[in-house]
Amino acid sequence: MKKILLLFFAFVFSLSLSNPTKAESYENSFKLLKITNGNSVSFAYLFPVNSYAFENVDSISYEGFKYYLKNTVSLLSDGYEEKAEGIEGISISKPNYYSDYDAVGFIIKFDNITAFNEYFEVEDDPITPKKSGVFIRKSTYNIAFPFSKASADSLISLMKNTVIMWGTTFNKDVSTIVSLYDHSTFIYELVSTSKQARSENMSESGGLYYNTFERTYEELAEEKPITIFYLEINRAMWYLMALILVVVLLIVVLVWRKISTKRKKLKL
């Protein structure tokens, strides 16, 4: 469904979204994609354009809006670039428009987990998971949703101000378009070639696994975490069970042989 990610793995910052995707599913959606491929981790930050709202706008002024939005988003990507100075293994793309997502966005790629941890100042103490299961161990992690109400307010204001600036420049009535962002949703999607990380919202497409979490603006105030779990075969327990079965089988065989021997003696 999302050829963007297959191409991304092959061409680091190439987000060629040529496969058809229903743009309606991304209306008013701010998206953060976390993409893992081997040791590398990438984040794609996507800001909704809502192209359908510009149906009656001439192409020149609409292209002007996307230009304005790219400039606005570049201010954010520039901030990430400044923070990345002096850290090896980090690349940041320039803002671009991705038609299948109907969004303007940029990507941060970390070549390895060391660069990732240094950039985000990850502490050495990991989150302690809740463990359950005997033969198949389940480790459950409750993680904070990456968008907060405060960050959502900032993003919505950023989009509204960009639309207003565009409308002023081209003398357009943008009140309807501005109001769209009052109904924004926020999506966090984990994408990987491995199905090790799982959730109740997991799906698979083209050999890639997606864990998608969505919140409305109102739901952000609840600060409800997202839940991710990992399944691992408890080999020690399986080996122990196999050993027990072998011992039980051996005992059964020995008892059967002993009983069989006694019966033969009785017949004699």
Residue 132: inside a domain: yes
Pick the closest to residue 13 from 43, 38, 39, 49 (CA basis). 43
Residue 110: inside a domain: yes
CB 195 within 8 A of CB 202: yes
Residue 38: inside a domain: yes
Stated pTM of the model: 0.76
Residue 167: inside a domain: yes
* Measured torsion, CA atoms of residues 80, 103, 197, 211, in degrees rounded to the nearest 10: 150
Residue 122: inside a domain: yes
* Residue 254 token pair: 């020995």
pLDDT in tens, 215-237: 999 999 999 998 987 777 766 66
Pick the closest to residue 156 from 29, 59, 14 (CA basis). 29
pLDDT in tens, 88-107: 999 999 999 988 889 999 99
Pick the closest to residue 187 from 65, 73, 12, 27 (CA basis). 27
Q: How many CB atoms lie within 10 A of CB 126?
A: 8
**How many whole angstroms separate alpha carbon 106 and alpha carbon 174?**
25
Residue 228: inside a domain: yes
**How many whole angstroms separate alpha carbon 229 and alpha carbon 45?**
24
Ordered per-residue pLDDT tens for the chain, 268 residues: 444 333 333 333 333 333 333 334 447 899 999 998 888 999 999 999 988 888 777 777 788 888 889 999 998 899 999 999 989 999 999 999 988 889 999 999 999 989 998 998 877 556 676 676 666 777 788 889 999 999 999 999 999 999 998 888 888 888 888 999 999 999 999 998 888 888 888 888 888 899 999 999 999 999 999 898 777 776 666 677 777 887 788 887 777 877 777 766 666 5
Domain count, the chain: 1
Residue 248: inside a domain: no
Residue 260: inside a domain: no
Query: What range defines the domain where residue 51 resides?
Result: 3-233
